[in-house]
Amino acid sequence: MKTVRTTCPYCGVGCGVKATLQGDSKVAIAGDEAHAASRGLLCVKGAALGETVSLEGRLLAPAMVENGVLVDSSWDAALGRVATTFMNIIKEHGPDAVAFYVSGQLLTEDYYIANKLMKGYIGSANIDTNSRLCMSSSVAGHKRAFGEDIVPGCYEDFEVADLVVLVGSNTAWCHPTLFQRILRARTQRPGMKIVVIDPRRTASCELADVHLPIKPGTDVWLFNGLLHYLVREGALDADFVNTHTSGREAALAASLDCADPLFVAEACNVEPQQLLAFYRLFSDTEKVVTAYSQGVNQSSSGTDKVNSIINCHLATNRIGRPGMGPFSLTGQPNAMGGREVGGLANMLAAHMDLDNPVHRDTVQAFWDAPRIASKPGLKAVDLFQAIEAGTVKAVWIIATNPVVSLPDADQVKRALAKCELVVVSDIVLGTDTNAYADVLLPALGWGEKDGTVTNSERCISRQRAFLPAPGAARADWDVLCDVGRRMGFDGFAFDTPAAIFDEHARLSTWRNGGDTRRVFSLAGLDGLTPQDYDQLAPVQWPLGAPRLFGDGVFAHADGKARFIPTVPRLPVHTVDDAYPLALNTGRVRDQWHTMTRTGKSPRLASHVQEPFIDLHPQDALLHGVRAGDLARVSSKWGQMVARVQHGGGMARGAVFIPIHWSGQTASDARVGAVVNPAVDPVSGEPEFKHTPVRIEPFGVRWHGFILSRRVLKLDSVASWTRIQGTQFYRYELAGRNAIDDASAWSRALLGIEDAAADWIDVEDKGSRTYRAAHLVDGVMDACIFIAPTADLPARAWLASLFEAGVLSTPQRMGLLAGRSPEPVADVGPTVCSCFGVGRNTICAAIEQHGLTDVAGVTACVKAGGNCGSCVPEIRQLLAAPASV
């Protein structure tokens, strides 16, 4: 049993993971104490990685659509078709008629090859990535302010700061281990303050000293006002500003109205006292880290939001010094690596620019490439619009699921349906995007692939393989190189990721000086032997520089940082009578993106089980929807259906819907279809956080659920959601059609064709209730419960029967009652996923032992003792056990 040190493939924190392949082909997961980014911590998603590596549902062989049918194919035939079609289209329509759409989950080596192939050999910059949806506003903001896309600080700054401001970031759920580090630091230094700026009252707010619930999209007002406050209160570091920056006056002039805190308070819809208290705190505290995430980035003024924050740090010279700085928290494991190789449509490579002829020359010369892209390519939203318009005729999508994740996602469907050639490289067979593929290429997943990733603090660490390549799957870099060679290009003769990394490192240092000086440099990491590469320990670039710009020297040609004038503006699409609510989207604690991996873990599925629509109870009342019932949310672009809830964190007029559910896991819960496609004019990042929507009840005739060992086709059911259980899938159902013969209908739905099957059922036609179970050799196989209301038996006990082997007579008898004949305690919905502790268990412990703090709860029932992501919820339970 060999333990492999690798890196978590989820958020941008980039935690170190120790993976041990055990005898029963299970994978034991532990945090890596030696990894500086996480020091042994793992969040629940990371801790559950072992549950996601099964081969169930994997794409294991290349496949092609032939005569309308998807058939397995050889690599040779599949890649031959890809190369030939790409070449033919390029020949006829030029290089800009093809595109790659890649992902922040690619390894740096994959990314490097994709970028090299597109920009240096095909000769177009039509390579964009889902990082466009995530942090491109930060990239643009960094470049505008610093001259290069640089995160100046490191994670340690969160621990030495006296004030951590979290802007548009539910760090507690989305970057949990970093949040734990902040909390631990505050425990040691109770004077440390945490401020959360977020329209929603998120889990992060539970542990914050101040929550500033600003109106969605008004961050620029807030930080412009802060900038004026800092100037007014004398917090400006005049020496620094005069020597090392430019543009201060223009920035102040552009935001003059924000000099009035009352105006800002009104614009942001916060209490003036609260606003001023925050300004004062920021002004009086030197060691401030302002960390921001998608609430800032995913906006039509995202780049300005970033710069309005950076402006405040420049004004106070709080940048690149311990405990100080703006900090972009990246959402994906290797968005940063993608940025380093230049894998976005408006970058070239190695932090060099497309519109800079010297840079173009530098890169082309280094690559010895036949061509070099000379103008920015199409950014994600534009790219899919160009595909629909027919100007882009072939697209290769790698490791991402745009039919789910892009805004106006139904447009993506239309685009892909029209596209001449859609190639998709993925690890999963069934995705919403794969349904449009002409060629499917099986990729390696986490634990199988080998290379490097860079986290939010510029730390490069290795993802190492500890599992064999399954089926015919191949590394993305290998497949991209193969296609490059098939297209007749030199420059793709790589055998190992180490060789690619070396080229990438050498490019970063190539002609890095003078006019072409870049901060990005992997000097010291070039020329690694394969062994060095294999054993590479996590390391920040540039080597020996945990912080950058502390010396006041920035990456602009004049060495100065720029204040950027940021004129506040509202979201592109504002609410109106027809669409009176503002939709905000985001992640939930225990899921990742479109759930192709986290969706496999029963543990992770138990926290938030179904897609939901969170809104204020008053708004629900106003629009005639009820908590627990289904509702339809629609915008000008599309619609979706999910269950209404009142999570308690929503302001009036706001709606929150999580991003994770796809056509694979729910009938109609792709929130991407609803999201507007407006983008930031600088970064091209879509405005995911603000779409005008309306909500209305989704009336159904019946409710139900299925637990089944098999994935089912439920097209005939109006609404369904699939939830992974241990040895079963759970489907929550709601239907609009009357069911005549419930027995026959249920058997058909569950695929039970054998008339002699062991089928138990209970029917009450008068009350439209039906319950049935199918057993095989006395073992639970499937069950279905249907009723006119959502008042159905609890799923937990039924779920446990799937692990119970041959059912005892009492179990069999109780099956359709949905309840164990012996009373067992209902533990309630899971709060702590790590230890599987339910809400009722925690509340009981609090009451029974008179607990008053989280540590007490942890001591009693373990909850909160591992990853700590549930600590905010435990705190809520401690505060008001009854009301939650």
Please give the residue ranges that form the binding site for other proteins (CB under 8 A): 758-767, 769, 775, 812-814, 816-817, 819, 821, 823
- Phi and psi based region of residue 84 (left: phi greater than 0; alpha: psi -120 to 50; beta: remaining): alpha
Question: Cβ(826)–Cβ(796) under 8 Å?
Answer: yes
Nearest approach, Cβ of residue 761 and other proteins (Å): 5
- 45 and 598 in contact (C-beta within 8 Å)? yes
**Shortest Å distance, C-beta 811 to other proteins:** 12
- Compare residues 715 and 791 and give the one whose CB is closer to other proteins: 791
Residue 766 Cβ, how far from other proteins at the closest point, in Å?
A: 3
User: Which has the closest alpha carbon to 200: 689, 832, 779?
Assistant: 689
Least separation, in Å, of the C-beta of 757 and other proteins?
A: 9
Question: Rounded CA gap, 213 and 233, in Å?
Answer: 24
Residue 542: asked if its preceding bond is cis (omega within 30°), the reply is: yes
Q: Where are the alpha helices (DSSP H) in 131-237?
A: 136-146, 156-160, 171-174, 176-188, 219-232
Give the containing element (helix H, strand E) for 385. Answer: helix 380-389
In terms of Cα–Cα distance, which of 423, 488, 402, 420 is closest to 73? 423
- Least CB distance to other proteins at residue 771 (A): 9
Q: Of 618 and 767, which has the nearer Cβ to other proteins?
A: 767
Element (H, E) at 360: helix 357-367
How far, in Å, CA of 570 to CA of 563, rounded?
21
Shortest separation between residue 638's beta carbon and other proteins, angstroms: 38
Q: How many Cα atoms sit within 13 Å of 203 on the Cβ side?
A: 24
CA distance 374 to 54: 43
Phi, psi of 154 (to 5 degrees): -145, 170
Residue of 159, 71, 56, 845 lying closest to 546 (CA atoms):
159
Asked if 593 and 660 count as a contact pair (C-beta separation under 8 A), the reply is yes
Q: Return the number of the residue (711 or 748) whose C-beta is nearest other proteins.
A: 748
Both structure tokens of 346: 């408006």
Nearer to other proteins, 526 or 761 (CB): 761
Is the CB of residue 770 less than 8 Å from the CB of residue 746?
A: yes
Q: 637: which residues sit within 8 A by CB, 6+ positions away?
A: 407, 408, 410, 411, 673, 674, 675, 676, 677, 691
- φ and ψ at residue 385, rounded to 5 degrees: -70, -35
Q: Which is nearer to other proteins, 414 or 768 (CB)?
A: 768
Nearer of residues 43 and 775 to other proteins, judged by Cβ: 775
Tell me the residue length of the chain: 884
We find the least distance from the C-beta atom of residue 764 to other proteins, in angstroms, to be 5
**Residue 650 Cβ vs other proteins, minimum distance, rounded to whole Å:** 33
Query: Nearer Cβ to other proteins, position 751 or 821?
Result: 821
Nearest distance in Å: CB 808, other proteins: 12
Residue showing tokens 């700061």: 161
Which of residues 189 and 701 has its CB atom nearest to other proteins in the complex? Answer: 701
CA 498 from chain centre, in angstroms, equals 28
Decide if 11 contacts 175 (C-beta within 8 A).
yes
C-alpha 346, offset from chain centre: 22
Residue type, 62: P
Side-chain-side CA neighbours of 131 within 13 Å: the count stands at 37
**Comparison of 257 and 761: residue with beta carbon closer to other proteins:** 761
Rounded to the nearest whole angstrom, what is the least distance from the CB of residue 878 to other proteins in the complex?
Answer: 26
Nearer residue to other proteins within complex by CB, 13 or 783: 783
Structural contact between residues 723 and 605, judged by C-beta atoms closer than 8 angstroms: yes
The CA-based angle 35-459-47, given to 5 degrees, is 45
Give the phi and the psi of residue 190 in degrees, each rounded to 5. -60, -15
Q: Which CB, 238 or 817, lies closer to other proteins?
A: 817
Contacts of 216 (CB under 8 A, 6+ apart): 199, 571, 582, 584, 654, 689, 690
Residue whose CB is less far from other proteins, 760 or 860 = 760
Of 306, 285, 299, the C-alpha closest to 151 is 306
| Between 766 and 850, CB nearer to other proteins | 766
CB of 458 or CB of 771, closer to other proteins: 771
What's the min distance (Å) between Cβ of 838 and other proteins?
16
Closest approach, Cβ 758 to other proteins, in A, equals 4
Tell me the torsion sign for CA atoms 415, 421, 426, 430: positive
| 98 vs 119: CA distance, rounded Å | 11
Residue with smaller CB distance to other proteins, 68 or 823: 823
Question: How far apart are CB 823 and other proteins at their closest, in Å?
Answer: 6
Question: Cβ of residue 704: shortest distance to other proteins, in angstroms?
Answer: 14
In the complex, the smallest distance separating the C-beta of residue 809 from other proteins, rounded to whole angstroms, is 8
d(C-alpha 676, C-alpha 27), whole Å: 41
Shorter beta-carbon distance to other proteins: residue 705 or 729:
705
